[in-house]
């Protein structure tokens, strides 16, 4: 589940006052690239991708928000080429790729 306070359409002025969320399946990076060729060079091992028919993409104002699976934050909202467009991939930074850095630079301890 991804959530955020961002716009709900590209033409919207400002962000929403209502926390919005979208639940979908996390795609493999290869499947994400197959959904939209714009992502071929951009998707790295440090990313997670969320997309699906009718699933809204992240939009302006959502950056930094969480991607949660089984009550664990697995991603941080990063980018989308097709902001706010349903069915297009949303890309998140993969938290597990940075756990060592987080532990070394904060008081957070991972179990």
Q: What is the pTM of this model?
A: 0.86
Q: DSSP letters along 41-62, please?
A: TT--TTEEEE--TTPPPP-TT-
> Which among 89, 80, 110 has a CA at the least distance from the CA of 33?
89
Q: Which domains does the chain have, with CATH numbers?
A: 2-104 (2.40.10.10)
- The single residue listed with the structure tokens 């795609």 is 27
For 22-46, write each residue's pLDDT tens digit. 888 888 989 888 887 777 778 899 9
For 51-96, write each residue's pLDDT tens digit. 877 778 888 889 999 999 999 999 999 988 777 778 788 999 999 9
d(CA 17, CA 86): 21
What residues pair up with 48 in beta bridges, in sequence order? 92
């Amino acid at each position: 589940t991804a959530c955020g306070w961002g716009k709900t359409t590209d033409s919207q002025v400002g962000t929403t006052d209502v926390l919005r969320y979208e639940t979908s399946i996390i795609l493999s990076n290869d499947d994400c690239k197959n959904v939209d060729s714009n992502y071929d060079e951009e998707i790295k091992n440090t990313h997670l991708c969320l997309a699906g028919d009718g699933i809204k993409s992240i939009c302006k104002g959502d950056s930094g928000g969480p991607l949660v699976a089984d009550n664990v934050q697995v991603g941080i909202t990063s980018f989308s080429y097709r902001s706010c467009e349903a069915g297009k991939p949303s890309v998140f930074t993969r938290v597990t790729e940075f756990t060592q850095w987080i532990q070394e630079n904060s008081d957070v301890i991972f179990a």
